[in-house]
C-alpha cells in the first residue's frame, strides 16, 4: 500500500477538500487493512487546524488521521494547557465506537512515548483510572508495545499498567463484564500481559499465580498460550 508520491506536499499545502479526497482515495478502505503508512505521514504533515476538522468527519479514516495528529499537538505544545487539551482529546477518542479510531489513539500514545517517555506515566495513569473500560484499554494498548519497553522503568510501567487495568476489569460487576466495552478490555489484557512480562520477567510468578475469577483465569490462559510467554515460562 505505502505512501503515494507527493503525499507530504499535498497534506502540507493543499486545501481541506483536496486533503480529504487524497486521504480517502489512498486510505485502503474499504478493505482488510487501512493505509497506516499514509496515516503516519498525515499525522506528521497536517497542520492543527486541518487535523481538528478531520476529527469531526464521519469518515473513519479521516478521523483516524486527525486523532493520530494529536501526538504532534501534544509534543509541540507551547504550553501545559495545550498538552492537557491534547490528552483530553485522546481520552475522548479512546472511547470512540470505531476500533480503528481507538487504534489511532494507541498509535498517538506510542509516538508520545517514543519522543517523551517521561510524559507517558501521567497519561496512562489517568487512563487506567478512567471509568470507561475502553479508555482503560487505551492505556494497555499504548504501553504494551515492545519498542517502548527497552528500559527498566518503561518495562515496570507496562506491568503496573496491566495490573491496574486487570483490577479495573475485575472491579466491574460480573453481570456487566459481558458488555462490549468490558470485552474489549479483556481481549487487550489477553495479550498485553505477555508483552509486559517479557520486558519485566520479575513479575512472572505473581502473574502465573493469579486466578479465582473466570475472566482472570481466561487472561492468564490466553497469555500463557502466546509463544513469547511460553518461552519465558519454559526457561
Q: How does pLDDT run across 26-77, given as a tens digit for each residue?
A: 999 998 899 999 999 999 999 999 999 999 999 999 999 999 999 999 999 9
**What is the C-alpha to C-alpha distance for residues 108 and 88, in angstroms, rounded to an integer?**
13
Burial zone of 72 (CB within 10 Å; 0-12 exposed, 13-18 middle, 19+ buried): buried
In 3-state terms the chain splits into helix, strand, coil percentages (rounded to 5) of 75, 0, 25
**What is the C-alpha to C-alpha distance for residues 41 and 158, in angstroms, rounded to an integer?**
27
**What is the C-alpha to C-alpha distance for residues 157 and 76, in angstroms, rounded to an integer?**
24
Q: What is the pLDDT of residue 95?
A: 98
Q: What is the pLDDT of residue 78?
A: 86
Burial zone of 215 (CB within 10 Å; 0-12 exposed, 13-18 middle, 19+ buried): buried
**What is the C-alpha to C-alpha distance for residues 180 and 227, in angstroms, rounded to an integer?**
27
Q: What is the pLDDT of residue 235?
A: 74
pLDDT along the chain (235 residues), means of 10: 90 95 96 95 96 97 98 95 97 98 98 97 98 98 98 98 98 95 98 98 95 96 96 86
pTM recorded for the entire structure? 0.96
Q: How do the domains of the chain map onto residue ranges?
A: 116-233
Grid coordinates representing 196 are 509486559
- Using DSSP's 3-state secondary structure scheme, residue 19 falls into helix
- Using DSSP's 3-state secondary structure scheme, residue 140 falls into helix
**What is the C-alpha to C-alpha distance for residues 134 and 144, in angstroms, rounded to an integer?**
15
DSSP letters, 55-113, are: TT-S-HHHHHHHHHTHHHHHHT-SSHHHHHHHHHHHHHHHT-S-HHHHHHHHHHHHHHH
Comparing C-alpha atoms, which of 57, 119, 44 is closest to residue 84? 119
Handedness of CA 38, 136, 129, 205 (dihedral sign): negative
Do 215 and 169 contact (CB within 8 A), yes or no? yes
Amino acid at each position: 500500500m505505502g505512501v503515494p508520491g507527493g503525499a507530504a506536499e499535498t497534506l502540507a499545502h493543499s486545501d481541506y477538500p483536496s486533503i480529504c479526497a487524497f486521504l480517502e482515495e489512498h486510505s485502503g478502505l474499504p478493505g482488510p487493512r487501512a493505509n497506516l503508512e499514509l496515516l503516519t505521514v498525515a499525522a506528521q504533515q497536517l497542520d492543527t487546524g486541518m487535523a481538528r476538522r478531520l476529527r469531526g468527519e464521519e469518515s473513519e479514516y479521516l478521523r483516524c488521521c486527525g486523532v493520530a495528529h494529536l501526538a504532534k499537538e501534544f509534543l509541540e505544545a507551547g504550553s501545559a494547557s495545550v498538552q492537557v487539551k491534547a490528552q483530553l482529546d485522546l481520552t475522548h477518542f479512546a472511547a470512540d465506537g470505531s476500533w480503528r479510531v481507538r487504534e489511532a489513539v494507541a498509535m498517538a500514545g506510542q509516538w508520545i512515548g517514543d519522543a517523551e517517555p517521561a510524559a507517558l506515566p501521567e497519561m496512562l495513569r489517568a487512563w487506567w483510572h478512567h471509568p470507561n473500560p475502553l479508555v482503560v484499554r487505551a492505556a494497555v494498548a499504548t504501553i504494551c508495545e515492545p519498542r517502548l519497553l527497552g528500559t527498566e522503568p518503561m518495562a515496570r510501567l507496562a506491568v503496573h499498567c496491566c495490573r491496574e487495568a486487570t483490577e479495573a476489569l475485575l472491579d466491574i460487576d460480573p453481570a456487566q463484564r459481558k458488555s462490549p466495552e468490558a470485552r474489549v478490555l479483556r481481549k487487550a489484557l489477553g495479550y498485553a500481559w505477555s508483552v509486559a512480562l517479557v520486558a519485566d520477567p520479575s513479575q512472572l510468578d505473581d502473574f502465573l499465580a493469579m486466578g479465582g475469577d473466570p475472566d482472570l483465569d481466561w487472561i492468564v490462559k490466553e497469555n500463557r498460550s502466546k509463544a513469547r510467554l511460553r518461552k519465558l515460562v519454559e526457561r
